[in-house]
Chain A
Amino acid sequence: MKDEPAFLPRAQGRAELEVKWQDGRTRLAHALEEGAAKLRFPRADDPAGFEAVWINSAGGLTDGDRLTLRVKAGEKARLLLTSQAAEKVYRARHGMAAARLDVRLDAALGSHVEWLPQETILFESGMLERSFEVDLAPGATLLAAESVVLGRTARGEVVERGQFADSWMIRREGQPIWADRLRLTGAIGALGRRPALLDGARAFASILYVGADAESRQEAVREWCEALPIRAGCSARGELLALRCLAADGDQLRMAMSLLLSRFRSALAGATVPLPRLWSC
């Protein structure tokens, strides 16, 4: 007991962000930061959309940490949310609760929201429970991506144990349209080597687009996927277009995601748009 500090600093934080469409562009309507949760606005005056960067100033997550982000995009607003750095999830102490990260988005009539954080890196015995909940009003569209890397793969690190639970719930006018629950717990190293789970991939990602034109975009996205050096696939139904990517390591995944997301964003904008600056390798 003597070796353990009586008080361990914990990341607790809450941020709120609200943007609205006014006088021909998206503007900040409300922002709140508490604790370790910070927001930055590098391109607040970009007519193409409002860019916000989410920061965990505690520099990583461990057991008992809890961060929440609540975002509202007003009618016709265009918002891009990303994160400043990869989120690192460190070893949790035995018997402690997992770190929690909860993100909640409300997209009003005709708005467009992009949630494109950088990857989450799960270290040996890291435990994270994450929820991503989105409510879309009629005509609102969403592009969301999450990448997970098991250990610092560039250093040959292999994560054998851990807990990763990621829950996505996307609703349109209150009706669930996409519920994705990923649970990888316990001996995640051994599980990840099994062919039906990750088949040895140590980095994986999901991308979801929700919009009336989802099905018409599938063919182009499928071509991008099939040209990649990693395993990537996509499937569309109704207003959903979902992608899964599995890569040998974090670098391969990051390259693939940069390519997919920059093409996707350009296709949506009808013009070449760069990836958020922070995403550049």
Chain B
Amino acid sequence: MPRIIMVATTMTTEAAAAWLYRLMAWLSPAYPVGAFSYSHGLEWAVEQRLVGDRSSLEDWLDDVLRHGGGRIDAILCAHAYAAAALGDRPTLVGLRDLGEALAPTRELALETLSQGEAFRTTTLAAWPDLERLAELLPDRLPAYPIAVGAAAAVAAIPMLPALEAYLHAFVANLTSAGVRLIPLGQTDGQRIVANLEPVCVEMAEAARLAPLDDLGTATLMVDWCSMRHETQYTRLFRS
């Protein structure tokens, strides 16, 4: 008996190491989805002085997580995960269409669809053992959280860590955009990431159980910023 338990423990640890490695690779800033080139409308918000220091950036991102794109993405990611885990391609196709239709502006659509497509092609090329992902993910551009959720399910990464990692990457990327735009010191940027940890955890937990009817945002100012960003005179970012 003890020997069997020991073997089982070793296997679990190895499996865990494999999923953690993949999750960290896929949501690392080094993964070539081009995340660094998107600001989710923040560039215009800084231009308009709606965001100008550490606390206003943290407030802005807190709201984007709870009431905006973060919330939408987490729920889409959870549903894509569940559909992929069940091998349910029609549901994934429906989510793909919904993910695109939910983007309120051209640049926010570009942000999620380009990253989703880059994630899909890179992951399929670099991890050939995930061939089921190619069968499940619709050919046309998937929204980024849908590509991540489906890949996580196929790779047997548990859902909650996948959602937390997704939201962390989302916040860390926008914080980095804010650090460059405002500008802020790197340590202040990490303070924001640290302070938003409980929000990411809470939103990941909530998304895990949320029906699609719970999709919704209240960040009309983010939409407005993204619209006005389209014609912003000097721009570092694509959104």
Contacts and interface: CB of A to CB of B under 8 A. Distances in A.
A and B held together in a complex = yes
A243 B223 CA distance: 9
Contact of A183 (B97, B98, B216, B228): B216
Contact of A235 (B67, B220, B227): B227
A198 B226 contact: no
B205 interface: no
Given A235-B106, A235-B230, A236-B106, A198 B220 contact: yes
A242 B105 contact: yes
Chain B: interface residue count, which band?
A: 20 to 34
A197 B218 contact: yes
A124 B185 CA distance: 43
Interface stretch (B4-12, B28-36, B58-66, B144-152): B58-66
Contact of A196 (B60, B109, B228, B230): B60
A195 B97 contact: no
A181 B102 contact: yes
B60, B101, B215, B224 — most chain A CB neighbours (10 Å): B224
A224 interface: no
A175 interface: yes
A199 B97 CA distance: 31
B64 A196 contact: yes
Contacts of A243: 227
A196 B219 contact: yes
Contacts of A183: 67, 216-218
A222 interface: yes
Contacts of A181: 102, 215-217
B121 interface: no
Contacts of A201: 220
B138 interface: no
Interface string B48-75: 0011000010011001100110000000
B234 interface: no
B227 A195 contact: no
A191 B220 CA distance: 12
A169 B102 CA distance: 9
Contacts of A180: 102, 104
Contact of B217 (A170, A177, A182): A182
Given A195-B60, A197-B63, A179 B98 contact: yes
A182 B60 contact: no
B134 interface: no
A179 B227 contact: no
A232 B218 CA distance: 16
A23 B227 CA distance: 43
B50 A199 contact: yes
A165 B216 contact: yes
Interface of B: 45, 50-51, 56, 59-60, 63-64, 67-68, 97-98, 101-102, 104-107, 109, 215-224, 226-228, 230-231
The 4 closest A-B pairs by CB, nearest first: A233-B227, A183-B216, A196-B63, A181-B216
